[in-house]
Chains A and B, each alone.
Chain A
Amino acid sequence: MCRRKPPKLYLLTLFWLYICLLSGYSHGDVIKVAVASNFQPTLSLLIPLFEAQSRHRVRSSSAASGVLYQQILHGADFDVLLSADSLRPQLLEEAGKIIAGSRRSYAIGELVLAASAPQHLPAGDSAAALASYLSAAPARSIAVAATAIAPYGDATKQVYDHFGLWQAAAASRVTANNISQVANLIATGNVNAGFIAAALLTEGDRQWYSISLPAGSYQPIEQQLAILAGTRNIAAARAFTTFLNGTDAQRVITQRGYRLP
């Protein structure tokens, strides 16, 4: 038994070194970014661009903005927040959880009604077609993100309210935790259609069908970022947020289906 010990120890040390390397031990600062679900695919395109021109590394974790807000309020160890709205960064500023003046818009999100087959969408692009589609949708056939925690869910409710259908069409809706889960429910065929961010349509090689929603049926989804007050990498965080407002990043952001602030 004794003879076996050294190789095991050796392997363990190698493994530990490997983990250290993986976690970017020897590089510049690691910026921890909390990102709203809708922006995660775009961020994963932006990170290599940023890392190519900076010695900093970025690690992201995504969830519904409301969930991230909660985590930050309770002292989660992030450096930058990319929210899907402007309300939560504003609340965090009032609570002293972000660096004053660091809050600014980085993208304007577009909400779409998406499906994995064209026959599951309204017959046309008109507001009337959408209204009759929403009011006639079969039970549990449309997925929406939770209105109270996901900004795109809140925008979805505004669309329903625009037609006065929020209560009337309640039976046709199922609630998902965030828009990524909505996209999942559509992709697996558990619902016919759902309200997601236009940005998610370009993710992966899945074929989506979607319609944009009538102008004025929901408030623009102004997505804001902020640097958190507890950050220990302020220079790196500033470099990253400056990069996001720069031309390189903005080109990617518009390609992904957002408008610029």
Chain B
Amino acid sequence: MTAIILTAQLAGVTTLCLLVIGTPLAWWLATTKNRFRPAIEAVIALPLVLPPTVIGFYLLLAYAPGNWFSDAWQQLFGSKLAFSFSGLVIGSVIYSLPFVVQPLQNGFRRVPATLIEAAATLGASPPDRFRTLILPLCKSSYISAATLGFAHTVGEFGVVLMIGGSIPGETRVLSIALYEQVETLNYAGAHTLSLGLLLFSLLVLFAVYSLNRSDTPLLRSGDNGR
């Protein structure tokens, strides 16, 4: 039960961080004509293709005392990163980044530039334009991004196995608990966790695909006007 709560907490915090980081990043990617854009897009998409062990290995080195990153963190927050919840959040943010940035970027790209210009001419400030125009238009993209980011973090295994240390209530998330159940031949426990994860993932994906089918009419007209 602690593993379920912990996993939900990890996925929730990660998703929040990802939405905060992902929004400006995706907006920049959707609107920029910078020639380095493909390079940045490639870097963000890396977790899609890299084995989690690559991320786990580099994080293991980065979290070790004596490394500049881990020392800076220790200075700022006074706590160790290795085997901690914060350490897992950083790992998960990297691991799930493309799952949030890519849907947002696609959503932002579909907002007609003419609409934003019109709002600007009518005197709407950039934050106003974002809140009253872009956010409602991209609602389904935000829901997709948040659900995918959340679900992908729930499904995280390799990274956590390498940097987590399996501490109950802190780093022993569902996938690790499940792995330990299987390795200790506790198949009844393994079935419960596996079935739960299976149903959860199916529901999440079903929700995302349903949302993608029913975009708001305004967005469709935006597509036509592109």
Contacts and interface: CB of A to CB of B under 8 A. Distances in A.
B115 to A, nearest CB: 46
A89 interface: no
A146 B166 contact: yes
Contacts of A175: 165-167
Given A140-B80, A189-B66, A190-B83, A174 B183 contact: no
A185 B64 CA distance: 9
B90 interface: no
A26 to B, nearest CB: 32
Given A148-B180, A175-B167, A188 B61 contact: yes
Main secondary structure of the interface of B (DSSP, over half): loop
Given A184-B60, A189-B65, A189-B66, A174 B165 contact: yes
B32 interface: no
Given A140-B83, A148-B183, A188 B60 contact: yes
Interface string B167-180: 10000000000001
Contacts of A188: 60-61, 64
Interface string B53-95: 0000000110111100000000000001011100000000000
Nearest to A177: B161
Contacts of B224: none
Interface in A27-69: 64, 66-67
Interface string B149-192: 00000000000011001110000000000001011110000000
Contact of B165 (A67, A176, A189): A176
Interface residues of B, number: 20
Name the residue in B60, B63, B83 with the highest tally of chain A Cβ atoms < 10 Å from its Cβ.
B83
Interface string A183-212: 011001111000000000000000000000
A185 B56 CA distance: 12
Contacts of B64: 188-190
Interface centre among A148, A181, A188 (most CB of B within 10 A): A188
A140 B180 contact: no
A132 interface: no
B184 A174 contact: no
A176 B162 CA distance: 8
B183 A143 contact: no
A146 B179 CA distance: 12
A169 to B, nearest CB: 13
Interface string B29-71: 0000000000000000000000000000000110111100000
A140 B165 contact: yes
A184 B65 CA distance: 14
Given A185-B60, A190-B65, 15 more contacts: A66-B184, A70-B183, A70-B185, A140-B83, A140-B84, A140-B167, A146-B180, A149-B180, A149-B183, A174-B83, A174-B167, A176-B165, A181-B162, A190-B63, A191-B82
26 contacts: A64-B183, A66-B183, A67-B183, A70-B182, A70-B183, A140-B80, A140-B82, A140-B84, A140-B165, A146-B180, A146-B183, A148-B180, A148-B183, A149-B183, A149-B184, A176-B165, A176-B166, A177-B161, A184-B60, A188-B61, A188-B64, A189-B64, A189-B66, A190-B60, A190-B64, A190-B65
Nearest 5 Cβ contacts at the A-B interface: A174-B165, A189-B64, A175-B166, A190-B82, A148-B184
